[in-house]
Every structure is written in C-alpha cells, then in structure tokens.
C-alpha cells in the first residue's frame, strides 16, 4: 500500500485524516514538521500532505527543503483561503504538487492524493530510467575513452610499422619514397644504361656513394669490379700513383710495380669520390684518360689501355672551384655530362621515418637487441631537426638511440638537442672569418697574377707587410695554383 505522510500541528486533524484515509492508504502522521522532513526522505513515502501554518516551519518551507532531497515527492498543501495566491505561485514554480483549501473535502483530497501518488510513481520510474541511462552513457563514454586511448597508443607506437618497408628498399639498400628521391632514382636508371660519366652532387652524407654503387649495379658492367677512391683521403703526393700506378723504382719507396685504379677498373666502374679535392696537377692526366682511355704509369712510358666507366661525386660547388681556378674547366665539362643532384635529407623529410625504421632493423639484426617501436614523440623530435650531416648523421643518431633505448622503444634522450644542433647548423652555413679572409686574399692575389711583393703586389693592395701576408697565406693554406 502507498504511504502517505501527513503533518499538521493540530492533533485533531491528524486523527481525522488517519481515520478518513487509512482504508485507502497507509497513513503516517506527525505534528512535527522536522520529523516529517526526516520521514519524507524514505523512498516508500509516496506523498506528503502538509498544513501550511505550523510553528517552527511552514508547509512551503518544508516542501522547499524536501524538493532538494526528494524532488520526485509530490507535496499537497492544506491551506486557508488567504494563502491561496501564495500556493498558486508555489505550484507554478514547481515546488508544490497541489493544494486543498481547509476545511478539506474528503473526496477532493482523496482524488488529489491519488493523482499525486501516480505522479510520484511516474517520477520515480523516470528517475530510475534516467539513472540507468546515465549509467549506460557513462559506461559507453568510459569505453569510448578507453578505445580512444588505445587508438592513440597504437598510432603512436606503430607509426612506422604500417608500411611494407620492402616496398621502399631499392637495390643497394636505398630507402625512401619521396618524390625527390624517386626523381634521382629515375635519373640514375637512365644514366646507368649508358656508358657516360655520371657526376653525383650533394651534401655530405646524402648517400652519394650508395648511388654510385647503384649506377654500377644497374649497368652492364655489374659483373666486373666497382673500384672506389676518395680523392680527399689520399695525400697529394700519392694520388697520382694511386690512380695510374707506378713502375718499380719510379720514386724512392716504389719497390714494386703498382697497378693503378684505372687499370684495376678495366671492364668495370671507377668511382672517384670528392673529385673537387683532386689536385690541379693531376687534373690534366685525368682529362687525358677520360678522352683517350689510355695512360702511363708514374715513371713508365708504356701506354696502357683501359675500359672503365667513371662516376664522380662532390659535395663542393665545382663551378665555383672552376671560377676560382682550383678546378680545370675542360675537366669539369667532361665530368658534368650527366649531373645528378642528390637532395639533402631536409628536403625529403618524408623519407626520414622509413630511414629510421630501416636503421633500427639493421641494428636489431646486428646487435640482437630488439627495438620494435618508434614512438611518434621520437619521430617528431627527429623531424624537427635540419640534419646538416644528412643520412649519415641520422644513422649515427639512431645508432646511439638504439644503444640507450629500453623496453623495445626507440627514444632520443637529452643528449640529442635539436636546438643546439640547429644553431650549429645555422652558424655552419655562415662562413668563418678565416674563410672570408682566405677568399679575399686569393681574390686579390688572382687580380695581380699572384705577385705578393712590390708596388703592384697583393701585400700592398691589402695594406700588409709582404712577410705578414706570406705567413698568413701559409696559415690559411693558400698556394699558387
């Protein structure tokens, strides 16, 4: 049975109410509004019927307090005619369900109470429904948040694992898929089919040697040797005999006949790295062998024929060197038949993730340590940097990170400070004072035919003592070509 709570400060009213309604409802009565407030909080109470004028607390005050605790509990006010307007306002504001004028009519009050009970049930059902829905919603939201978090984690951790790496590995392990790289590869393919000299131009560490190997691999000389020599790594005095060989006794220390690289490369490819460093004195000999495919060993007079394909590389601006008289123009034109510009890494950053993955896998195989995740955070640090040392520098950074990383995740630590490195990169592009001085002295010397002393000498033009200029030239490595 429904519980109806009735509060009135007049005990007679309580008795009348109880006697009148107990047949219809379970009636609880009290003359104390505070006690009524407490009882009304129990969920089994479906309706509160209250007198308006009571000592300590009015019916409206009681309704106000309960509306905060049990908003679904309907409150019926028993009120004198004088309070009618106040009640109407309270009903309008929603704090009170209805009112009945005193003295109340039994049937009218019974009807109002029954309506209120129904309302209470509906409100209670609604409340449960809302609670259930809210709970479901919360569960859904929680699940969704978990999914989002998992997705983010997966994205972060597997950012590099998605693509089939093999798709982007070319012969000679050239990794990348950028437009810039694909263009270079196309050029290399075109060049490889011919027998022409190829000149690879690019900053240090861009992979020039790799592309030289690719030219050889793709050419019909692939079954013969690829012979490499780095012109900057060999002392000037030895380079000629390295390239052309020497006869026994050609100079002190030449104990045996030596075959030069041009001879060894017969039938294959000769790769001259850092060609810009080739001393001026050797350049005419290279030109001759390029034109006639014959040469003599140092200290010999027997002409040797050779059949090679030349690939050269430089990280210098050869045209500049020609302009400064450090490189012969006729040789430059001969080498520049098929120039291929290898773009620096910062101009093909989309290759960086693949390269990182490639180096990580290589190191995994080499060291046995397993790093299988490259987090997005690591990538974004690497992508923020300008890589003046290009792919070689990247490979070194990845190797260091590989050693220091734990839990299968590649991380770059404090030691990698892109800000600092970038600053270095920027200052590196600004010539040093020595470089500027060197250029200025060379230019002045060139303008006076390399004369140092005298009125028309460079020292005079520069406002220097001739011996000061000479010692500075020595310090800066300036020599007459």
Ligand X SMILES: Nc1ncnc2c1ncn2[C@@H]1O[C@H](COP(=O)(O)OP(=O)(O)OP(=O)(O)O)[C@@H](O)[C@H]1O
Positions touching ligand X (CB under 6 A) are 173-176, 202, 204-210, 273, 315, 355, 358, 391-392, 395
| Nearer to ligand X among residue 173 and residue 294 (C-beta) | 173
| Nearer to ligand X among residue 308 and residue 387 (C-beta) | 387
| Nearer to ligand X among residue 184 and residue 445 (C-beta) | 184
Whether 225 and 264 have beta carbons less than 8 Å apart is answered as: yes
Whether 254 and 247 have beta carbons less than 8 Å apart is answered as: yes
Name the minimum Å distance from CB 271 to ligand X.
10
Q: Following CA atoms 143, 145, 148, 154 in sequence, which dihedral angle do they give, to the nearest 10 degrees?
A: -80
Name the minimum Å distance from CB 211 to ligand X.
7
| Nearer to ligand X among residue 271 and residue 295 (C-beta) | 271
| Nearer to ligand X among residue 88 and residue 233 (C-beta) | 233
Q: In the complex, which residue's CB is closest to ligand X? A: 207
Name the minimum Å distance from CB 347 to ligand X.
13
Q: Which residues pair with 445 in a beta bridge?
A: none
| Nearer to ligand X among residue 157 and residue 393 (C-beta) | 393
Name the minimum Å distance from CB 296 to ligand X.
30
Among the listed residues 60, 80, 76, 154, the one whose alpha carbon sits nearest the alpha carbon of residue 112:
76
Name the minimum Å distance from CB 179 to ligand X.
14
Beta strands 303-305 and 294-296: pairing type?
antiparallel
| Nearer to ligand X among residue 48 and residue 239 (C-beta) | 239
Whether 245 and 263 have beta carbons less than 8 Å apart is answered as: yes
Distance from C-alpha of 232 to C-alpha of 275, rounded to nearest angstrom: 8
Residue 423: helix, strand or coil by DSSP? Answer: helix
Distance from C-alpha of 35 to C-alpha of 32, rounded to nearest angstrom: 5
Asked if omega into 103 is within 30° of 0 (cis), the reply is yes
Name the minimum Å distance from CB 299 to ligand X.
31
Quickly count: other Cβ atoms within 10 Å of residue 188's Cβ. Answer: 24
Whether 8 and 14 have beta carbons less than 8 Å apart is answered as: yes
- CA distance readout (Å), 16 to 6, 53, 55: 11, 18, 20
Name the minimum Å distance from CB 348 to ligand X.
9
Count of CA atoms in the C-beta half-sphere (13 A) of 456 = 6
Name the minimum Å distance from CB 274 to ligand X.
7
| Nearer to ligand X among residue 391 and residue 469 (C-beta) | 391
């Amino acid at each position: 049975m429904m519980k109806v709570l009735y509060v009135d400060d007049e005990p007679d009213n309580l008795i009348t109410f109880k006697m009148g309604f107990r047949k219809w409802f379970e009636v609880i009565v009290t003359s104390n509004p505070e006690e009524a407030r407490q009882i009304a909080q129990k969920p089994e109470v479906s309706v509160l019927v209250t007198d308006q004028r009571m000592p300590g607390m009015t019916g409206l005050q009681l309704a106000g307090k309960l509306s905060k605790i049990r908003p679904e509990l309907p409150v019926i006010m028993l009120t004198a005619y004088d309070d009618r307007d106040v009640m109407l306002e309270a009903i309008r504001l929603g704090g009170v369900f209805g009112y009945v004028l005193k003295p109340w009519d039994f049937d009218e009050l019974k009807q109002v109470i029954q309506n209120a009970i129904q309302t209470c049930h509906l409100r209670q059902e609604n409340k449960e429904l809302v609670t259930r829905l809210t709970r479901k919603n919360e569960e859904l939201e929680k699940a969704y948040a978990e999914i989002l978090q998992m997705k983010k984690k997966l994205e972060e951790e597997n950012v590099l694992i998605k693509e089939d790496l093999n798709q982007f590995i070319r012969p000679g392990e050239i990794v990348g898929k950028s437009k810039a790289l694909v263009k270079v590869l196309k050029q290399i393919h075109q060049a490889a089919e011919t027998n022409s000299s190829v000149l690879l131009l690019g900053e240090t560490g861009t992979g020039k040697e790799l592309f030289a190997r690719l030219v050889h691999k793709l050419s019909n000389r692939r079954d013969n040797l690829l012979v490499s020599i780095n012109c900057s790594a060999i002392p000037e005095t030895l380079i000629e005999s390295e390239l052309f060989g020497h006869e026994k006794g050609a100079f002190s220390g030449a104990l045996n006949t030596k075959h030069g690289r041009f001879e060894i490369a017969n039938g294959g490819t000769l790769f001259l790295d850092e060609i810009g460093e080739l001393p001026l004195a050797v350049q005419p000999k290279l030109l001759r062998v390029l034109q006639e495919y014959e040469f003599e060993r140092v200290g010999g007079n027997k002409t040797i024929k050779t059949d090679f394909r030349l690939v050269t590389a430089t990280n210098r601006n050869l045209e500049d060197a020609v302009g400064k008289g450090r490189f012969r123009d006729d040789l430059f034109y001969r080498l520049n038949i098929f120039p291929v510009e290898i773009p620096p890494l910062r101009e093909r950053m989309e290759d960086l993730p693949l390269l990182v993955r490639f180096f990580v896998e290589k190191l995994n195989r080499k060291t046995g340590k397993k790093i299988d995740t490259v987090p997005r955070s690591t990538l974004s640090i690497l992508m923020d940097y300008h890589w003046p040392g290009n792919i070689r520098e990247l490979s070194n950074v990845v190797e260091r990170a590989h050693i220091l990383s734990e839990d299968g995740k590649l991380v770059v630590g404090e030691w990698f400070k892109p800000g600092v490195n970038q600053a270095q990169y920027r200052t590196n592009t600004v010539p040093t004072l020595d470089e500027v001085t060197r250029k200025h002295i060379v230019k002045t010397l060139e303008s006076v035919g390399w004369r140092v002393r005298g009125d028309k000498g460079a020292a005079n033009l520069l406002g220097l003592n001739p011996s000061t200029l000479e010692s500075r030239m020595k310090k800066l490595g300036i020599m007459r070509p």
